[in-house]
Amino acid sequence: AQSVTQLGSHVSVSEGALVLLRCNYSSSVPPYLFWYVQYPNQGLQLLLKYTTGATLVKGINGFEAEFKKSETSFHLTKPSAHMSDAAEYFCAVRPFPLQGAQKLVFGQGTRLTINP
Amino acid sequence: GAGVSQSPSNKVTEKGKDVELRCDPISGHTALYWYRQRLGQGLEFLIYFQGNSAPDKSGLPSDRFSAERTGESVSTLTIQRTQQEDSAVYLCASSSQPLDEQYFGPGTRLTVT
């Protein structure tokens, strides 16, 4: 079965510093990959996704992620953290084969804290 | 337009009671999903509805859990004889087509005492 591992349940960075949130998946066939953000008392919002094509994917709010097949990773980065980035971040995969794979498999989440 | 809405936002219930959680998807979205988010964990898939097709119930943890959807509108998730381990945030999502982006509601926080 597919699984997603997010390294670090809590990450703390200073405002203006690089944000790096790690995600690894287990699959012999590259799945579709997603990053979601959850602000307090709100639903999950899609940050970015990788399906096919360019392995560096740009999303909203200055975030980007790079799909690395050899490392089975899809780490999320942002060059300069902003206070408003404080939230919970979830990595998710849609397994192959796509037929019947409507459900998403989520990682445990990483809570990002931004220090002033 | 309006997003996915869920009610109630919070529910506290006594062990053994039944609860019903409601999800209003985005209008026109044919696909609807329920997930459960336990404290400190990721989301677990529960059930998926697509149009008038038979739902995918493969994620329901026990026969105490059931869900219904009327056409392509409202869905209700029912938990019978609640247990403390049912305490979690229950999230609903909808998408315009099965493989399209899923839009999530704010969730219902269920606490079983």
What are A82-101's pLDDT values in tens digits?
999 999 999 998 876 655 55
Q: Which residues of A touch B42 (CB under 8 A)?
A: 4, 6, 90, 106-109
CA proximity to A109, closest of A33, A5, A24, A32:
A5
**Mean pLDDT, all residues of chain A:** 90
Residue in B48, B106, B107 nearest the CB of A102: B48
Q: Tell me, what's the pLDDT at A31?
A: 79
Cα dist from B78 to A8, B95, B105, whole Å: 34, 22, 17
From CA B11, how far away is CA B32, in angstroms rounded?
22
b/e per residue, A15-32, with b = 16+ CB within 10 A? eeeebebbbbbebeebbb
Nearest residue on chain A to B59, judged by CA atoms?
A: A103
The alpha carbon of residue A115 and the mean position of all alpha carbons in its chain are separated, in whole angstroms, by 21
Q: Using the beta-carbon criterion (under 8 Å), do B41 and A108 form an inter-chain contact? A: yes
Cα dist from B28 to A43, A44, A93, B66, whole Å: 19, 20, 25, 23
Q: Tell me, what's the pLDDT at B45?
A: 92
CA proximity to A25, closest of A16, A37, A36, A33:
A33
**Mean pLDDT, all residues of chain B:** 92
Residue in A6, A100, A104 nearest the CB of B45: A104
Percent of chain B with pLDDT over 90: 73
From CA B99, how far away is CA B101, in angstroms rounded?
7
Q: Tell me, what's the pLDDT at B96?
A: 87
What does the pLDDT look like over B29-57, one tens digit per residue?
A: 989 999 999 987 889 999 999 888 889 99
Q: Tell me, what's the pLDDT at B91?
A: 95
Q: Using the beta-carbon criterion (under 8 Å), do B106 and A43 form an inter-chain contact? A: yes
What does the pLDDT look like over A64-81, one tens digit per residue?
A: 999 999 999 999 999 999
Q: Using the beta-carbon criterion (under 8 Å), do A94 and B107 form an inter-chain contact? A: no
In this prediction, residue A40 has a pLDDT band, given cuts at 50, 70 and 90, of confident
Segment A27-45 mean pLDDT = 85
Q: Which two tokens stand for residue A32?
A: 């579709």
Whether residue B100 has pLDDT greater than 90: no
Alpha-carbon gap: A64 to the closest alpha carbon of chain B (Å) = 18
Q: Tell me, what's the pLDDT at B1?
A: 54
From CA A16, how far away is CA A83, in angstroms rounded?
9
Segment B82-98 mean pLDDT = 92
Q: Tell me, what's the pLDDT at A17?
A: 97
Alpha-carbon gap: B30 to the closest alpha carbon of chain A (Å) = 12
Q: Which residues of A touch B91 (CB under 8 A)?
A: 43-44
Q: Which residues of A touch B59 (CB under 8 A)?
A: 103
